[in-house]
């Protein structure tokens, strides 16, 4: 990440907690070459995925002005307009269920979780 982006993030005077949309829009106003990305972020604290917004530079590198709201980030999953959208949470593991899920249902994120749910019912 460019040092000018790092400096802006380090000196940001406002609150960053649960403010990813607002802060990324504000940072893009200062650095218009950055592109806003929307999707999910997986965090170290519990390995769960959360809705998030961040920025991407011209080389495709992630510039996340609110990353410090978590202990650490495992990964990002950008969801573009044409991508499957999250439609709910898995009743087994709590992970996101997407509209193209392989489980064939909106209650499970995978065939494995679906089988666990069904087996627990009987």
pLDDT exceeds 60 at position 103 = no
Tens-place pLDDT, residues 105-116: 678 888 888 889
Tens-place pLDDT, residues 15-52: 999 999 999 999 999 999 999 999 999 999 998 889 99
Give the per-residue pLDDT at 67.
97
Show me where the domains of the chain are located: 1-82, 84-122
Tens-place pLDDT, residues 50-89: 999 999 999 999 999 999 999 999 999 998 888 888 888 8
pTM comes to 0.77
Give the per-residue pLDDT at 101.
61
HEC secondary structure over the chain: CCHHHHHHHHHCCCCCCCCHHHHHHHHHHHCCCCEEEEEEEEECCCCCEEEEEEEECCCCCEECCCHHHCCCEEEEEECCCCCCCEEEECCCCCCEEECCCCCCCCCCCCHHHHHHHHHHHC
Give the per-residue pLDDT at 102.
63
């Amino acid at each position: 990440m460019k040092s000018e982006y790092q400096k802006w993030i380090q000196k940001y005077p406002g609150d960053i907690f649960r403010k990813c949309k607002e802060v990324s829009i504000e940072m893009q106003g200062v650095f218009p070459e950055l592109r806003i990305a929307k999707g999910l972020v997986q965090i170290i604290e519990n390995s769960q995925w959360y809705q998030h917004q961040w920025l991407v530079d011209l080389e495709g590198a992630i510039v996340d002005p609110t990353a410090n709201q978590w202990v650490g980030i495992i990964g990002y999953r950008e969801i573009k307009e044409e991508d499957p959208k999250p439609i709910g949470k898995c009743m087994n593991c709590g992970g996101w269920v997407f509209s193209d899920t392989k489980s064939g249902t909106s209650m499970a994120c995978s065939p494995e979780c679906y089988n666990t749910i069904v087996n627990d019912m009987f």
